[in-house]
Amino acid sequence: MLSTTVRSFTTTSSTLLPRIAHSSLCAVRNFSTRANNTNTTNTTRPLANSNSLPTQTLRTLSSTSNKMGLTDWASKDGSFKRQVSSFRDHIEPNGKFPAEKGRYHLYVSYACPWAHRTLIVRKLKGLDDFFDFSVVHPHLLEGGWHFETPEDAAKPPAPWSEHSNKTFPGATADKLYGKTHIAELYKKAEPEYSARFTVPIVWDKQTETIVSNESSEIIRDFNSAFNGLLPEGSAERELDLYPESLRGEIDALNEWVYDGINNGVYKCGFATTQEAYDDAMDNLIKSLDRVEEILSDGREFLVGGRLTEADVRLYTTIVRYDPVYYVHFKTNWGQIRHDYPALNRWLKNLYWNYPAFKDTTHFDHIREHYFYSHTQINPRRIVPKGPKLDIEPLGAEKRKAEDVAGSNKAAKV
């Protein structure tokens, strides 16, 4: 089926240009208190002998950055600031972290748009058999992202949710070490790490350290680093999401989409002043209108008539827009399905016609994470039922037009 998905994509050089990456950090993060150094510490010293950490240890792991309220990371003018990724190495054929089957492990949240990018590209590039992944629970609590354990799976549902504090369909245990929290992996990689504990993470099992926690760079590594190990002539090997001939156009689009939309929804949701919210919302509206105009000519993809990383990066925000951001982040100027017909068509095409997008989109994790975790925005943790449809079926816009035409005809009668 993937061959059908990528049949029209062309092949160009997979050489990576120098990358100026935006943050890959899910939920809300401050700027890092750790130096943005690409030389990570390759230590194998374990954080703790026990997989189940006491409360005091978890509080220590959380550090001040994880215990403060999410909106406390706003600047003095009330605008939201995002933490810069700290681990910035790369998987490269002849580099420090070479491309090898079975060497790496991916840590993700199904709820997180930044981690979602990596899952889409992993599937598009046919890397399912090259490395496995572990999925954290959607509830982001005081100790940070946490995993399920066999003991947790046996617990009954908690009274405030249909799921217990840790059990949730699709969430997994830490498949490598049996750790309970993402924080433990950061401390295993670098004991002095003091910034926020974020996903996604690419973990090197050989040196037992974090290769990267920057999604924009991870997806470029996945796009090209393993090509030499994929079957020659296969659609997955031929697929290039960052073709050399389109890099300038892709980079330019990524820049304003990130600022106005990917990060823009967070700047709206976590603004602490009316002025900061208004500025962020104005930029979001302008950016959505700009995308709508680009897609209004009926094109299937954003750049170059082919699927690129630009589509992947925008998709993970837009697919969350109506179910979550429209209400939770107060981005209610318009809904994608009702007010942006070209963008809605683009979204539905990716979701329904390309399995790598649909199969990695988990609306239950997405909704549960945002509404339950962000108590500064939703203090009673009430998770809404709507919208009735997380995403519309293909052809819905045609049926709407027919309904309108039918109503007009009936009115005339």
Instruction: Identify which of 146, 163, 190 has the alpha carbon closest to the alpha carbon of residue 51.
Output: 146
Buried b (16+ CB within 10 A) or exposed e, 166-185: bbbeebbbbeebebbbbbbb
| Structural tokens at position 44 | 């194998």
Task: Tell me, yes or no, whether 196 lies in a domain.
Answer: yes
- Give the pLDDT mean for 304-314: 99
Q: How many structural domains does the chain have?
A: 1
Domain that holds residue 122: 104-398
Residue 112 or 28, more confident: 112
Q: With 0-12 CB in 10 A as exposed, 13-18 as middle and 19+ as buried, what is 201?
A: buried
Task: Tell me, yes or no, whether 17 lies in a domain.
Answer: no
Q: What percent of the chain has pLDDT over 90?
A: 67
Task: Tell me, yes or no, whether 278 lies in a domain.
Answer: yes
Task: Tell me, yes or no, whether 31 lies in a domain.
Answer: no
What local confidence, expressed as pLDDT, does residue 93 receive?
84
Instruction: Identify which of 184, 154, 183 has the alpha carbon closest to the alpha carbon of residue 166.
Output: 154
Measured between alpha carbons, how far is 213 from 201 in angstroms, rounded to an integer? 5
Beta bridge partners of 202: 106, 212
Task: Tell me, yes or no, whether 213 lies in a domain.
Answer: yes
Residue 86's CB is within 10 A of a number of other CB atoms, namely 25
Beta bridge partners of 105: 203
Instruction: Identify which of 407, 401, 304 has the alpha carbon closest to the alpha carbon of residue 345.
Output: 401
Least confident of 113-127, 142-156, 175-189, 249-263: 142-156
List, for residues 310-338, the tens digit of each pLDDT value.
Answer: 999 999 999 999 999 999 999 999 999 99
Task: Tell me, yes or no, whether 348 lies in a domain.
Answer: yes
List, for residues 223-251, the tens digit of each pLDDT value.
Answer: 999 999 999 999 999 999 999 999 999 99
Residue 158 or 345, more confident: 345
Q: What is the pTM of this model?
A: 0.80
Give how far Cα 214 sits from Cα of 19, 21, 87, 141, Å. Answer: 11, 7, 7, 22
Task: Tell me, yes or no, whether 80 lies in a domain.
Answer: no
pLDDT band at 71 (very low <50, low <70, confident <90, very high): very low
CATH code of the domain in which 112 resides:
3.40.30.10
Q: With 0-12 CB in 10 A as exposed, 13-18 as middle and 19+ as buried, what is 274?
A: exposed
Residue 245 or 61, more confident: 245
List, for residues 262-302, the tens digit of each pLDDT value.
Answer: 999 999 999 999 999 999 999 999 999 999 999 999 999 99
Catalytic residues: 112
